[in-house]
């Protein structure tokens, strides 16, 4: 059955629909309850970091390398050894780092909030005083980024992604509007596309001339060391490029150990220019007396340095590689040649971006749901939840065990075919 479905006659399609429906009903009878909706690490991945919990105990010296007692108040920018660890990760200097709590999303939300109410720094007006400000959103993208922008009433403009990153011709056109205040990027193993921005895209992001002086690139490097393949993608250092281009304040970069150690109890960080760091620390000086320094200490003593993190990430890769491979294999077996779906096995990250026939994504997700498999809602990877072509589905393969994943993927392939046949019959 490697024939393109659209070449089938109406009669053949009806026959195919009956066959697929029967198969689908058999799935429904199984009372499945599987979840491929969110990019959560599996239990086996969480088990990798259990020794982190042994790092500190009642006999531990809890002082940082400056002699500060990490149990007590203070040190809002983070303890020096933890700033140094993240500096290695971001390829910047320790003074460009602020260590946060357990959530980089929280750091990003708070940063957008700060820009709205107080501006990017003391030299610039709050965004909320400047009119209806806008953000560029490479699509498909991460639903939680879009949700933060929507919460603050920031208008979102779709910018299509290709295999090199966002369409830079369009970006360079759109930034002529001084109300366009930023662009929200996942530059390595993008969520959900798995795309890593090319060197040229990174250089153009650094070299472009936004009309807004207070333009910011929200650079969510969530998957910076999250490899799957043995041939990792390489991402150019945006900050270094911006320094060269004379716009060091443009990027504000984020990462966390959520998918390195524990999503519930990791450490997050910001990397940015001295000016941005100062503006953020100024706001934080009102907001908190400091983040959890014992958890900073735990992480830095556990990993020691970037090599320690990378060695640890290889263990994650070993666990999730078979899951990505299983999804890819089943999709290939079930769908290749049918002309109704495309996807790409990424070199890293947490997702497979799966495109079905235009107008079918919602139907596929609904069919899966009805049969007991929860996927991320169709449209979620677009601002306002609106996928203009109703084509994109985000697959998150990490959480379920392989056998569940296989069942869920087979069902997904089946629903993809069923929805396509339905659509083709409508159009026939």
- Site residues (vs its own copies, CB under 8 A): 38, 40-41, 43, 46, 49-51, 53-54, 56-60, 62, 69-75, 101-103, 105-106, 109-110, 113, 116-118, 128, 144, 147-148, 151-152, 258, 262-265, 283, 286-295
**Which lies closer to its own copies via its Cβ, residue 329 or residue 374?**
374
| Of 244, 200, 198, 202, nearest in space to 219 by CA | 202
Nearer to its own copies, 194 or 263 (CB): 263
CB of residue 41 vs its own copies: minimum separation in angstroms? 7
The half-sphere exposure of 134 on its side-chain side, counting CA atoms within 13 A, is: 17
Task: Name residues whose C-beta falls within 8 Å of residue 74's C-beta, 6 or more positions apart in sequence.
Answer: 68, 289, 290
Closest separation between CB of residue 56 and its own copies, Å? 5
Do the strands 155-162 and 165-166 form a parallel or antiparallel pair, or are they unpaired?
antiparallel
Q: Do the Cβ atoms of 5 and 413 come closer than 8 Å?
A: no
Q: Which is nearer to its own copies, 14 or 150 (CB)?
A: 150
User: Tokens in use for 314?
Assistant: 């290889």
149-154 long-range CB contacts below 8 Å, 24 or more apart?
Answer: 149/112, 149/184, 149/383, 150/383, 150/384, 151/109, 152/112, 152/113, 152/116, 152/128, 154/112, 154/116, 154/127, 154/181
Least CB distance to its own copies at residue 68 (A): 9
The structure tokens listed for 92 are: 């910047």
- Please name which of 146, 147, 148 lies closest in space to residue 158, comparing C-alpha atoms: 146
Nearer to its own copies, 295 or 347 (CB): 295
Pick 156 or 201: Cβ nearer its own copies: 156
- The residue (of 105 and 120) whose beta carbon lies closer to its own copies is 105
**Min separation Cβ 151 and its own copies, Å:** 4
Preceding omega of 130 cis (within 30 degrees of 0): no
Closer CB to its own copies, 25 or 47, in the complex: 47
Shortest CB 269 distance to its own copies, Å:
15
CA distance 373 to 369: 5
The CB-of-46 to its own copies minimum distance in angstroms stands at 4
- How far apart are CB 123 and its own copies at their closest, in Å? 17
- Whichever of 71 and 304 has its CB closer to its own copies, that residue is 71
- Nearest distance in Å: CB 216, its own copies: 18
Three-class SS of residue 376? coil
Of 243 and 265, CB closest to its own copies: 265
Contacts of 352 (CB under 8 A, 6+ apart): 192, 194, 324, 327, 328, 343, 344, 345, 346, 394, 395, 397
Quote the least distance from Cβ 126 to its own copies, whole Å. 10
Q: Which is nearer to its own copies, 291 or 363 (CB)?
A: 291
Taking the CA of residue 186 as centre, how many other CA atoms within 13 Å lie in the half-sphere pointing to its CB?
A: 27
Residue 168 DSSP SS3: helix
Rounded to whole angstroms, the Cα distance separating 254 from 271 reads: 6
Closest CA to 207 of 161, 152, 250: 250
Distance between CA atoms of residues 233 and 224, nearest Å: 10
Q: In angstroms, give the least distance from the CB of 150 to its own copies.
A: 8
Q: Give whichever of 11 and 54 is closer to its own copies, judged by the CB atom.
A: 54
What is the rounded distance in angstroms from the CA atom of residue 13 to the CA atom of residue 244? Answer: 58
Q: By C-alpha distance, which of 89, 110, 139 is closest to 391?
A: 139
CB of 365 to its own copies, least distance (A): 21
């Amino acid at each position: 059955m490697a024939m393109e479905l659209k070449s089938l006659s109406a009669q053949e399609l009806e026959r195919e629909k009956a066959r697929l429906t029967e198969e689908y009903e058999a799935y429904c009878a199984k009372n499945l309850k599987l979840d491929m909706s969110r990019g959560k690490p599996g239990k086996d991945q969480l088990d990798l970091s259990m020794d982190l919990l042994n790092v500190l105990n009642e006999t531990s010296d809890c002082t940082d390398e400056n002699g500060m007692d990490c149990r007590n108040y203070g040190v809002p920018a983070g303890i020096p050894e933890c700033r140094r660890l993240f500096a290695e990760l971001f390829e910047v200097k320790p003074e460009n780092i602020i260590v946060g709590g357990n959530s980089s999303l929280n750091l990003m939300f708070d940063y957008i909030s700060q820009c709205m109410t107080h501006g990017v720094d003391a030299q610039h007006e709050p965004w909320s005083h400047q009119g209806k400000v806008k953000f560029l959103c490479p699509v498909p993208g991460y639903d939680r980024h879009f949700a933060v922008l929507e919460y603050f009433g920031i208008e979102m403009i779709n910018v299509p992604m290709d295999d090199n990153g966002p369409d830079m011709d369009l970006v360079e056109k759109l930034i002529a509007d001084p109300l366009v205040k930023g662009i929200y990027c996942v530059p390595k193993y993008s969520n959900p596309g798995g795309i890593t921005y090319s060197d040229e895209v990174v250089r153009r992001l650094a070299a472009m001339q936004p009309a807004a002086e207070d333009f910011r690139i929200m650079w969510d490097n969530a998957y910076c060391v999250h490899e799957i393949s043995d041939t990792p993608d390489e991402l150019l250092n945006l900050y270094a490029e911006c320094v060269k281009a004379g716009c060091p304040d443009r990027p504000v970069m984020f990462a966390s150990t959520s998918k390195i150690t524990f999503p519930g109890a990791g450490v997050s960080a910001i990397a940015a220019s001295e000016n941005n760091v100062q503006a953020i620390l100024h706001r934080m000086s009102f907001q908190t007396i400091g983040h959890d320094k014992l958890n900073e200490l735990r992480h830095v003593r556990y990993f020691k340095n970037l090599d320690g993190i990378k060695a640890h990430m290889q263990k994650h890769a070993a666990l999730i590689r078979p899951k990505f491979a299983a999804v890819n294999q089943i999709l290939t077996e079930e769908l290749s040649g049918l002309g109704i779906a495309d996807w790409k096995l990424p070199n890293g990250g947490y997702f497979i971006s799966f495109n079905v026939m235009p107008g079918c994504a919602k139907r596929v997700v609904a069919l899966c749901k009805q049969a007991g498999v929860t996927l991320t809602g169709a449209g979620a990877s677009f601002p306002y939840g609106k996928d203009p072509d109703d084509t994109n589905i985000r697959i998150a393969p990490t959480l379920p065990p392989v056998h569940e994943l296989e069942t869920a993927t087979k069902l997904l392939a089946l629903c993809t075919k069923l929805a396509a046949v339905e659509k083709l019959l409508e159009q026939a």
